[in-house]
């Protein structure tokens, strides 16, 4: 008869498992290949941790010692790397998965896809425990990995969390298989009650995968919370298929280093109106892949995961709901329908305002909770003082919308962040006809020094430049994220006619693409003259050299070819007439008949560049 082994020697191992349960499950979840799907990875991860607790029958007498952290993690990884599918709880018509990833978590997930199983395991050990290389190799060897050093070296080359790792409480929700959501896959029929019951049974079974986890930092509960009392995100529920939409506390932005739309609380006097929220969410779920509601560059289709309520209320006679799914903003207006805009990788400026309502040539914005002061200013009157802008509960008074065709909105939003975000941080936004206004920046003329970074377009010099050149932007349409005006050269004109300012205006879109246009502001002309333009990355930090040219007629009727280049230009050549000039500017009077010309600039490196394509 097999001797009875006392229970006591196994308690330290169980205690270690209980203490680290969340991270151990995350370790297995991150190690499993993404191709398995989130549902399968969640269940397999819990099963892998359950199997890591040694059976009493598995240890002979004399080996009744507890497993240390290295051995425990090695056992979890051994199961996760084996490729087998342990016996899992099953439920018809239900799916379990962690919340959708944000921009940074998506980047981590994509990086993990480049690694093999041992590499993913090594990355997860560094991310979750901050394991140095030696400890990582030791754990991988305990898991049976033969080339542990190579796996650790490969994982170390992939970007990850800061030194020290996430730890337990700081684990990102997208990788936390203990904070799962439940969603039906069956049609919303009479099976709802059965589905809810199965969800409770399934989550209870998941919670029981490890011993004595009650009260631990452990798996999700059937009511949508985690065992530590923190909310686990949305779960499916009535009425009308409405999810329990996610919200954050009103002061969340004061306690997070991630200042974007994820830090917006729900606002509006109808934010708890489930019928209204249900209609808005149903409209988003019904948006097909080719939905016309999506702004250019914005993926169409239903929410990609959690949907968060940003606003729900009545605005200018219509009910308006704003939702966010970590990558897009959805605005649903009763009687007008749905509109989607891309909003991934937003920040303190690009997540500062959303267009709430357009009516009769006016626009209202909903401002971010970190905006301490708001003003408005006409774009074409830079010397006019800014006007204070009331925004009760974040909703601004109506402002004039849009501007001339192809130009940014005629009214600028001047906003100032709370000192808790950044001291004396003021910036400007302009309406481009979409859900999100564009962030305006300004780069002053170059000096004999390294190139300057764009600065906020709030100073007198920047405002005057934008007033003169705003309508020369290459793109002022929905989907534009930021507009920068770069004064790349200042040229003295012949016959003491004043100075010409050469500019490159760049439009960057949320989708990642962009375009640029060159323009020149001449003394006798109140508006900048656009001289060329093209899509691509010209005039960005990735392509900082540019040249532009134009014809100019002096006050006495003489025609000149003007050309100017950016800081690193050392000579300008004009083919055709054969003109050239050393330096960054050229002005040559035409004495004969007009002939085709081709302008080229030489950089200090010897490389030659041409101007942006001339406009036709």
Comparing 491 with 38, the larger pLDDT belongs to 491
Task: Please give the share of the chain, as a percent, with pLDDT higher than 70.
Answer: 78
CB 359 within 8 A of CB 374: no
pLDDT of residue 466: 96
Quick one: residue 141, left, alpha or beta (phi over 0 = left, psi -120 to 50 = alpha)?
Answer: alpha
Q: What is the pLDDT of residue 105?
A: 65
Q: Give the DSSP H or E segment for 281.
A: helix 274-285
- CA–centroid distance for 173 within its chain: 16
List 585's β-bridge partners, or say none.
564
Q: What is the CA radius of gyration of the chain?
A: 30
Residues 117-124 have a mean pLDDT of 91
Q: What is the C-alpha separation between 122 and 338, in angstroms, rounded?
A: 44
Q: Which residue has the higher pLDDT, 304 or 440?
A: 440
**Do residues 246 and 309 lie in contact, with contact meaning Cβ atoms separated by under 8 Å?**
yes
Between 48-52, 552-556, 568-572, the lowest mean confidence (pLDDT) is in: 48-52
Q: What is the pLDDT of residue 565?
A: 95
Paired sense of beta strands 455-456 and 438-443, if any: antiparallel
What is the structure's pLDDT at 245? 73
Summarize pLDDT for 410-457 with one digit per residue, the tens.
899 999 999 998 777 999 999 999 999 999 999 998 875 566 789 999
The token duo for 168 is: 């337990």
Percent of the chain with pLDDT over 90: 49
pLDDT for res 426: 95
**Residue 97 CB coordination number (10 Å):** 19
Confidence band of 195 (pLDDT split at 50, 70, 90): very low
User: With 90 as the cut, is the pLDDT of residue 11 above it?
Assistant: no
Question: How far, in Å, are 254, 359, 364, 431, 522 from residue 392 at the CA level?
Answer: 19, 19, 12, 20, 43
Mean pLDDT of 152-165: 78
Least confident span in 62-71, 419-428, 594-603: 62-71
In angstroms, the Cα distances linking 503 to 238, 292, 473, 488, 493 are 56, 35, 10, 6, 16
pLDDT digits (tens, 9 = 90+) for 345-359: 899 999 999 999 999
Q: For position 6, what pLDDT does the model report?
A: 37
What are the residue ranges of helices labelled H in 328-474?
Answer: 460-469
Mean pLDDT is lowest, of 164-173, 372-381, 545-554, for: 164-173
Helices (H) and strands (E) in the chain, counts: 11, 26
């Amino acid at each position: 008869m097999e001797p009875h082994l006392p229970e006591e020697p196994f308690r330290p191992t169980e205690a270690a498992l209980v203490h680290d349960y969340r991270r151990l499950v995350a370790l297995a979840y991150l190690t499993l290949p993404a191709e398995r799907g989130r549902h399968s990875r969640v269940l397999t991860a819990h099963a892998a941790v359950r199997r890591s607790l040694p059976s009493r029958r598995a240890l002979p007498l004399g080996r009744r010692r507890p497993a240390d952290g290295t051995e425990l993690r090695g056992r979890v990884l051994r199961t996760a790397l084996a490729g087998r599918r342990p016996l899992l709880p099953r439920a018809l018509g239900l799916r379990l998965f962690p919340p959708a990833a944000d921009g940074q978590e998506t980047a981590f997930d994509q990086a993990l896809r480049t690694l093999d199983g041992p590499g993913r395991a090594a990355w997860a050990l560094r991310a979750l425990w901050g394991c140095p290389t030696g400890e990582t190799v030791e754990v991988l060897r305990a898991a049976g990995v033969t080339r542990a050093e190579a796996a650790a070296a490969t994982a170390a080359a992939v970007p990850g969390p800061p030194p020290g790792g996430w730890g337990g409480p700081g684990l990102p929700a997208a990788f936390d298989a203990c904070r799962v959501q439940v969603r039906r896959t069956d049609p919303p029929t009479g099976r709802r009650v059965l589905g809810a019951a199965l969800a409770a049974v399934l989550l209870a079974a998941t919670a029981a995968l490890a011993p004595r986890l009650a009260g631990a930092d452990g798996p999700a509960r059937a009511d949508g919370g985690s065992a530590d009392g923190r909310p686990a995100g949305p779960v499916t529920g009535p009425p009308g298929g409405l999810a329990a939409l996610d919200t954050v506390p009103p002061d969340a932005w004061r306690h997070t280093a991630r200042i974007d739309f994820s830090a917006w609380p729900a606002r509006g006097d109808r934010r708890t109106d489930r019928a209204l929220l249900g209609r808005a969410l149903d409209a988003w779920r019904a948006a097909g892949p080719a939905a016309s509601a999506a702004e250019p560059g914005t993926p169409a289709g239903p929410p990609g995961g959690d949907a968060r309520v940003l606003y729900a209320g009545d605005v200018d006679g219509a009910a308006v709901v704003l939702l966010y799914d970590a990558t897009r903003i959805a605005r649903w207006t009763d009687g007008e329908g749905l509109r989607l805009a891309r909003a991934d990788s937003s920040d303190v400026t690009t997540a500062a305002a959303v267009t709430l309502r357009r009516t009769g040539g006016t626009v209202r914005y909903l401002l971010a909770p970190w905006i301490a002061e708001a003003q408005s200013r006409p774009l074409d009157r830079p010397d006019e003082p800014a006007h204070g802008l009331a925004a009760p509960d974040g909703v601004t008074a109506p402002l004039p919308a849009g501007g001339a065709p192809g130009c940014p909105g005629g009214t600028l939003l001047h906003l100032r962040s709370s000192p808790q975000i950044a001291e004396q941080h003021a910036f400007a936004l302009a309406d481009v006809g979409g859900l999100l206004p564009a962030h305006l920046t300004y780069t002053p003329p170059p000096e004999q020094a390294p190139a300057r970074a764009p600065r906020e377009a709030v100073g007198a010099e920047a405002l005057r430049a934008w007033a003169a050149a705003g309508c020369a932007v290459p793109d002022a349409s929905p989907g534009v994220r930021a507009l920068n005006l770069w004064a790349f050269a200042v040229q003295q004109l012949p016959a003491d006619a004043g100075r010409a300012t050469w500019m490159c205006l760049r439009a960057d879109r949320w989708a990642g693409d962009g375009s640029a246009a060159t323009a020149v502001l001449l003394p006798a002309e109140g508006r900048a003259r656009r001289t060329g333009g093209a899509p691509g990355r010209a005039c960005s930090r990735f392509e900082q050299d540019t040249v532009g040219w134009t014809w100019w007629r002096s006050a006495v009727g003489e025609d000149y070819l003007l050309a100017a280049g950016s800081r690193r230009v050392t000579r300008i050549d004009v083919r055709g007439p054969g003109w050239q000039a050393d330096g960054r500017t050229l002005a040559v009077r035409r004495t004969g008949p007009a002939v085709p010309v081709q302008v080229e600039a030489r950089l200090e490196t010897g490389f030659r560049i041409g101007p942006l394509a001339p406009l036709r």
